[in-house]
Chain A
Amino acid sequence: MSGPMWLDDAFAGVMAAIALYSLGRLVAARVGRRPTHLDVDAAHVLMGTAMAGMLVPSLGTLSTGVWALVFAALAGWFVWRCYLFVNQHGVEGRDEDHVHHLSHYLTHLVMSGSMLYMYLAATPVATRSGGGTMMAGATGTTTEFVGLPLLFLVVLFASAIWELDGIERFAPIRPPRAPVAPTPTPALAPAGAGVNGTFAGQVAEPGEGGSSGRRAPWLAPRLEAACHIVMCVTMGYMLVLLL
């Protein structure tokens, strides 16, 4: 990018770490049979890897064209998810985790669109090192569409801010100290999940959850949210450089 090198390096490092962590989430969810947003985690892996490569060319993995195809496909996937969500839960309904709304998928659709925009609009320039493609500001006809990245920027930052405001939704709900009912072994309780995987903002539906213990706890939802926030901020930074 065309920002200060040390800042680009720092953001790239964070993105690479998030990509690795999200990959770990996918493995942990598979091995431990824990519910998580598989498509969101996969999107974070792809976006983290791609952004690290855009910020620091030596971390580049695939060519610009391939990445553009990947994010076009990802955008299509989230369009499909939005359609399914509205069909199943309505516009104001909640996801199967009882916390997320339609906006969860819309935001990831915007993130995919932002990645696609960056690959299509940014101009490849001489690489700083390695064989990757370094991105510079939009030029030519793309400069006439700067309203689009501004819109993306506002949506991403609003999403980051609202996610941070709501991050306590995922705080575990703990019972009082007096022994009221048997609780799971603390050592097995995951970060971010409460008793039987219950969160502060979670709305339980009749006949589910509770002491029956039928559902496995959600996989580290606060860390997923934190990754989302950091990713939105980083993507916003990259979009600002393309304005």
Chain B
Amino acid sequence: MSDASASLSAATAPGVARTTRRAWARPDARRSLQLVLATIWLIDGVLQMQAVFFTRTFGAEMIAGMSAGNPSLLARPITWSGQTIGHHALVSNALFALGQAALGLGIAWRPTVKPALAASIVWSVGVWWIGEGLGGVLNGNADPVNGAPGAVILYALLAVLLWPVDRPGPSPAFVAARAVGAPVAKALWLVLWGSLSYFALLGQNRSDQGLHDLIIGQTGGEPGWVVWIDRHSASLVDHHGLGSMVVVAVLLAVVAIGVLLPPPAANATLVVAVVLALCFWVVGQNFGALFTNGATDVNSGPLLVLLAVAYWDRSRGQALDSVPMPEGA
């Protein structure tokens, strides 16, 4: 960790000679976000250890099913991979589970943070294609409410934005700009949230019952209180799907261009982004379907929140480098 270890806190006891090794430094803002990302990876790894994923169904049906609607050039590898994984369910899923847990632990352990982040990018892109069918982006099924453009690609984006190097020059106003620079970081934000706005108005998402059916269709296997939330949310948008999604699309567009606004306004749109992400996560994603014994990840809600925090403009406060973050347990 270049940023963490750069600020050497000489934490030696009185009388002890100057150290020959770098002292441990508290996590700064970026390191803290990396640790949150690592926590999510670890959760994903353990979710992958659920019994259902060690069966043939996971590969042959869940993964192979992702090929539907995708161009054949992209769909064939998905189908082949799904069948192969299904035939070697035990070994392949053990590798998936251990791999994701290792990514989380690798990001958390400072000597391996760079290799782990790099591996997470490769892993995410591969899983986005094979495991999520590119998040429905190419088959017209993408809907930001239920996780488009695919949660796993957000891991890759976060790994890039939280890469532990600093560009030369003055300290940027927000964490996401430290590795890639403010212009690139803002462009990535604009593309992500702009695409979410576009997906909100795609095909079925525009229909009067589209949003209602999406919410109701995900109640299977959920505990009663989640079903209660879903039913009441669905009743609010019953026969108002188009109007609701237009509002969502406009809000997403505002969030997208918000990053180009002056800091106070930009931060206000980040708050909107967090609220939207949480609404999607609770209503459209049912907390990532974590309670159904069939979730492989936490879905996009928490990752969008993490992204928004990485873009929080602190230019009116202390410089990012000098903000001490609380230690863990």
Contact = CB atoms under 8 A, between A and B. Distances in A.
Given A164-B105, A165-B109, A236-B46, A143 B16 contact: no
The 10 closest A-B pairs by CB, nearest first: A162-B328, A210-B15, A204-B13, A209-B13, A211-B15, A164-B108, A175-B17, A201-B24, A103-B329, A200-B24
27 contacts: A104-B329, A107-B329, A144-B225, A146-B223, A150-B287, A157-B43, A159-B329, A160-B42, A162-B327, A165-B110, A167-B109, A173-B23, A175-B17, A175-B19, A181-B17, A194-B16, A196-B13, A200-B23, A203-B11, A206-B14, A210-B14, A210-B15, A228-B329, A236-B42, A237-B49, A240-B50, A243-B290
Interface residues of B, number: 47
A233 B46 contact: yes
Nearest to B25: A201
B301 to A, nearest CB: 13
A198 B12 contact: yes
Contacts of A208: 13
Interface of B: 11-24, 27, 31, 35-36, 38-39, 42-43, 46-47, 49-51, 54, 90, 94, 101, 104-105, 108-110, 223-225, 287, 290-291, 293, 326-329
A233 B108 contact: no
B24 A137 contact: no
A101 B326 CA distance: 10
A3 B24 contact: no
Interface in A91-142: 100-101, 103-104, 106-107, 137
Interface of A: 2-4, 7, 100-101, 103-104, 106-107, 137, 143-144, 146-147, 150, 153-154, 157-169, 171, 173-177, 180-181, 194-196, 198-204, 206-212, 228, 233, 236-237, 240-241, 243
B39 A204 contact: no
A173 B16 contact: yes
A180 B13 contact: no
A161 B35 contact: yes
Given A163-B329, A180-B17, A4 B110 contact: no
A227 B13 CA distance: 27
A31 to B, nearest CB: 26
Nearest to B42: A157
Contact of A166 (B18, B24, B38, B51): B24
B14 A201 contact: no
Contacts of B17: 175-176, 180-181
Contact of B21 (A165, A166, A173): A173
A171 B21 contact: yes
B87 to A, nearest CB: 17
Instruction: Identify which of B15, B35, B225 gathers the most chain A CB atoms within 10 Å of its CB.
Output: B15
A43 to B, nearest CB: 13
A201 B23 contact: yes
Contacts of B326: 101
B11 A154 contact: no
Given A173-B21, A196-B13, 11 more contacts: A2-B51, A160-B42, A168-B24, A173-B19, A181-B17, A202-B11, A203-B11, A208-B13, A210-B13, A233-B46, A237-B46
A234 to B, nearest CB: 9
Given A146-B223, A237-B46, A243-B293, A161 B39 contact: yes
Contacts of A159: 328-329
Contacts of B223: 143-144, 146
B110 A168 contact: yes
A108 B101 CA distance: 22
Nearest to B111: A168
Contact of B54 (A4, A173, A176, A233): A4
Given A7-B49, A173-B16, A200 B39 contact: no
Nearest to A5: B51
A118 B223 CA distance: 18
